Structure 1
Amino acid sequence: MTVPGIQQCTDLMARVQLPPHIQEHSLRVAQVSIFLGRHLNRNSVRLDLELLVAAALLHDIAKGICIDSGCSHAALGAEMLNDWGYPQLAPIVAEHVFISPAAVAAPINESIVVNYADKRVRHTDIVDLDCRFADLIRRYAKNQQHEQALHAKLELYRQLEQRLFEHVAIVPADLGKATQEDLSVGA
């Protein structure tokens, strides 16, 4: 299984002309993912940190394209990664936007960590779930039904957060320290 390294991920971002602000967001999501992943791996969870970093860096690879066209950036990103020969990244990218109750209850994996990390990063700021979802509601809720759906998703993410942090000796607020995190897997 070939996983792109950090430089390869950066090259792929350049290839699709991913806007700089989305690249910066993706870097921050990768920092949160590896920070949390390292803490989870010190306990009972076994994550592939190389896969985790690559998926986090590339989770929004199609966002620049879809901003203009209105397509699903998660679905298109997964398709692009499959086409480029990275099928192991595709499901993580495809699943990073939403979460189901079944996923919250499932074993912790790279997909869950990237999904959660993305919900903790607003632009390039590491924020709590309430702040992130307030931003999502403000930007994307087109009607009351959509706003209610986002509130329901927030509750699922709170449950996921509780599950994730049962396995580590840190609290959610500690994710602010992730800005100093080295993305190299050996670190």
Structure 2
Amino acid sequence: MNKINLIKSPDKPTLKYPPMESALIPPPPVEIDPSWAIPSARQCIAWWDDYRMLDNIKSHSMLVAEVAIQVSTLAVESGINVDIPTIQASALLHDIAKSYCIYHGGNHSQLGAAWVMRLTGNPAISMGVLHHVFWPFEPEADKYFLPLVVSYADKRVMHDTLTSLEKRFNDLKVRYGKTDKIKQRIHKTFEQALHLEERLGKLIGVDLNACSLDCGRLV
């Protein structure tokens, strides 16, 4: 039998991965590119129907957008440079995949971010959708105002009613806290929301917990 001579591939460099316990590397600060399209409130609401959003989620999304606009308006009044139309679009679209995932499963923030990126081509809007459930990095409000304000606004709205963080998370524990693991996850998210509220409040000079957040109109 003839001997087959195998050609040895050249050695490849060894890839070194960071240890699993290492801290996540945060993304670059959010910067708005003037060339990115920003859909109007009317367009975002039309997409709700395209993606068969349930009526209760529509009501929730509308109020989340109004809260995000109000906090953003307070930021502008305090001299912070934020883009309110971009924040509005991200807040209106943050739950665009929620109805689909209720029926078919999946992560609604990840799927929603992918859909929103396809619809808008705007990574800033998509970033707010992706991280509205949980922000896995240090909540530096000056660098990441857009995704953080969308996340915070979502935490201040229980169904279609403005509420405190404590009441919002107590409701989540009752509805979803079926196991100790889930309860721990909800508590961790609650602690982050409190930290986020403090960071945003310090940035804009407002005690958000005590603020009535009289919601502004969509722009």
TM-score by length of 2: 0.78
Bigger drift between 99-108 and 162-171 goes to 99-108
Please report how far the alpha carbon of residue 42 of structure 1 lies from its aligned counterpart in structure 2 after TM superposition. 1.7
User: What is the RMSD computed on CA atoms of the aligned residues?
Assistant: 1.7
Aligned to 1:42: 77
> Gaps (5+ residues) in structure 1?
none
Kindly indicate whether residue 96 of structure 2 is the aligned counterpart of residue 64 of structure 1.
no
1:138 to 150, 167, 174: 174
Kindly indicate whether residue 56 of structure 2 is the aligned counterpart of residue 26 of structure 1.
no
Please report how far the alpha carbon of residue 17 of structure 1 lies from its aligned counterpart in structure 2 after TM superposition. 1.5
SS class of match (1:177): coil
Report 1:52-131 matches (<5 A). Answer: 52-88=87-123, 89-104=125-140, 107-131=143-167
Please report how far the alpha carbon of residue 99 of structure 1 lies from its aligned counterpart in structure 2 after TM superposition. 2.1
The alignment covers a number of residue pairs equal to 182
TM-score by length of 1: 0.90
Aligned to 2:194: 158
Structure 1 contact 59–77 (Cα < 8 Å) conserved: yes
Kindly indicate whether residue 27 of structure 2 is the aligned counterpart of residue 7 of structure 1.
no
Aligned to 1:171: 207
Aligned to 2:4: none
Structure number with higher relative contact order (C-alpha < 8 Å, ≥ 6 residues apart): 1
> Gaps (5+ residues) in structure 2?
1-35
Change (3 A) 1:90 1:168: closer
Structure 1 segments (4+ residues) deviating >6 Å: none
More helix by share: 1
Q: Percent identity?
A: 32
Whichever of the two has the greater Rg, that structure is 2
